[in-house]
Amino acid sequence: MLIHRWFILGVLFTARFALGFQFQSAGSVTPFIVQDFGVDYTGIGTLVGLYMIPGLFLSVPSGFIGRRFGDKRIVLLGLALMLIGGAIAGAANSYAAVVVGRLMSGGGAALLFVLMTKMLTDWFVDRELFVGMSIFIIGWPIGIAAGQAVQASIALASSWNVVFYLTAIGCAIAFLAVAVLYRTPPKLEARPTGSFLRLSRREFSLVTIAGLVWMFINGAYLVLLSFAPIFLIEQGLSFAEASGVVSLMSWVFIFSLPLGGYLATRFQAPNVVMFTGLTGAIIIGGLIPFTNVPFVTFMLFGIFYAVSAPIVASLPAEVLSPGNRGPGFGIYYIWYYAGSAFLPIVGGYLKDVTGTAASSVLFGVALMIATLILAGLFRLAQAYYPAPAEPGI
């Protein structure tokens, strides 16, 4: 069972990698979109955020749909939508067509974000949840980092359209992996499809706070990914150099995520790891616009940010009953999608208004401060909000 559990994690990891690689594609081809279609940076921020907008409408329903028709079937549907959306964006000859492709891909991604997190929790909730979650969520930044590393070069060597086509190919590979290799945990196979409990007030309240925490910590990451390269270009770096420096943040994030999961599990100190990581990220992030050593500051920010992430991502699993994980994660992710859709737009607006991307970077740091405050609120509410004797809202 142990080997099988980790094998399933590898399957889910593959699909999460495809998510990150496709999401990053819009940011990687920013100069080409600006040149070809004449959009401003608010438009670019909108294009990045469009990948998340469908989640506002699909996040909660996806949890119920997955419970009714089966998690695996709905995840495969999501991967198919991502494949089609990538192909549409690749064939686009207008900004509007890219928008359509991004929205379709985002619709598929919404199904994956909610249900794959639920599927991972089903397999790992009994033990090693922090470690399993840390490895699972690595797939997203690895996909993003891989996109940062190769997509701009591919666009320069051929065209930006090819980048979107490559994301569709990645989705096709993930589709085959899930279709052929994923299995439902044996302990859940006997549960009748379509049955679930009603969320208790405690579950609803805590998963909502957890969703806000996840929204702000991811919003900070997305804003920095989108606008930190622009800031570095303003400081005199070339486009390739700026992309390389910011990609360091993603690469150290990748290697530090398991460290956070390991430390929280090994020393049974998730709160110490989470709050230390968040505080360190805030301090280092605040230094980014004021130092001349971007390699160091981006690397340190990625390390501190990463060690806190597995604990933050595991907060809903601490409060949701097995029958409520689908709908509960749907509520959790609707906040994540709200922030991911609109916070990059705010970052782009700040760049346009102030004339410098330093304001966008500092906005990302402000989002980390909000994350720290809300994580503390979650722990206080978890400790003092008594669990109801019977479920129901």
User: Mind listing the pLDDT tens digit for each residue in 308-357?
Assistant: 999 998 999 888 887 788 888 888 888 887 887 788 889 989 998 999 99
Residue 284 has pLDDT above 90, yes or no: yes
- In-domain check, residue 392: no
Question: How confident is the model over 346-371, as pLDDT tens digits?
Answer: 998 999 899 999 999 999 999 999 99
**Residue whose tokens read 């008594």:** 386
Does 282 map to a domain?
A: yes
Whether 391 is in a domain gets the answer no
* Range with lowest mean pLDDT among 100-104, 135-139, 164-168: 135-139
Residue 278 lies in a domain: yes
Which has more pLDDT, 244 or 107?
Answer: 107
Annotate 43-82 with b (16+ C-beta within 10 A) or e (fewer).
bbbbbbbbbbbbbbebbbebbebbbeeebbebbbbbbebb
Predicted confidence (pLDDT) at residue 100 exceeds the cutoff of 70: yes
List pLDDT tens digits, range 9-67.
999 999 999 999 999 998 888 788 888 888 777 777 777 778 878 888 888 888 888 88
- Whether 390 maps to a domain, the answer reads no
Host domain of residue 171: 2-383
- Residue 237 to residue 243: CA distance in whole angstroms: 9
Question: What's this model's pTM, rounded to 2 decimal places?
Answer: 0.79
Predicted confidence (pLDDT) per residue in 139-179, tens digit = 887 898 788 789 988 998 888 999 999 999 999 999 999 99
Q: Are 175 and 80 in contact (CB under 8 A)?
A: yes
Residue 390: band (very low, low, confident or very high) from pLDDT cuts 50, 70, 90: very low
| Interval 185-239: pLDDT, tens | 876 654 544 444 577 888 899 999 999 999 999 999 889 988 998 899 999 888 7
Task: Between 359 and 249, name the one with better pLDDT.
Answer: 359
Residue 99 reports pLDDT greater than 60: yes
In-domain check, residue 26? yes
Number of folded domains that form the chain = 1
What's the mean per-residue pLDDT of the chain? Answer: 87
pLDDT at 104: 94
Token pair 């859709």 in the structure block, residue: 341
CATH number at residue 261: 1.20.1250.20
Identify the residue whose tokens are 């089903």.
122
Q: Which residue has the higher pLDDT, 366 or 264?
A: 366
pLDDT value for 192 = 47
**Per-residue pLDDT averaged across 240-258, rounded?**
84
CA distance 305 to 160: 31
Residue 341 pLDDT: 72
Three-class DSSP labels, the chain = CHHHHHHHHHHHHHHHHHHHHHHHHHHHCHHHHHHHHCCCHHHHHHHHHHCCHHHHHHHHHHHHHHHHHCHHHHHHHHHHHHHHHHHHHHCCCCHHHHHHHHHHHHHHHHHHHHHHHHHHHHHHCCCCHHHHHHHHHHHHHHHHHHHHHHHHHHHHHCCHHHHHHHHHHHHHHHHHHHHHHCCCCHHHHCCCCCCCCCCCHHHHHHHHHHHHHHHHHHHHHHHHHHHHHHHHHHCCCCHHHHHHHHHHHHHHHHHHHHHHHHHHHHCCCHHHHHHHHHHHHHHHHHHHHHCCCHHHHHHHHHHHHHHHHHHHHCHHHHHCCHHHHHHHHHHHHHHHHHHHHHHHHHHHHHHHHHCCCHHHHHHHHHHHHHHHHHHHHHHHHHHHCCCCCCCCC
In-domain check, residue 326: yes
For the ranges 190-194, 248-252, 266-270, 320-324, the lowest mean pLDDT is seen at 190-194
Q: Is residue 379 part of a domain?
A: yes
Q: Considering Cα of 89, then 28, then 340, then 211, what sign does the dihedral take?
A: positive
CB-count exposure of residue 262 (10 Å: 0-12, 13-18, 19+) = middle
Place of tokens 């500092």: 362
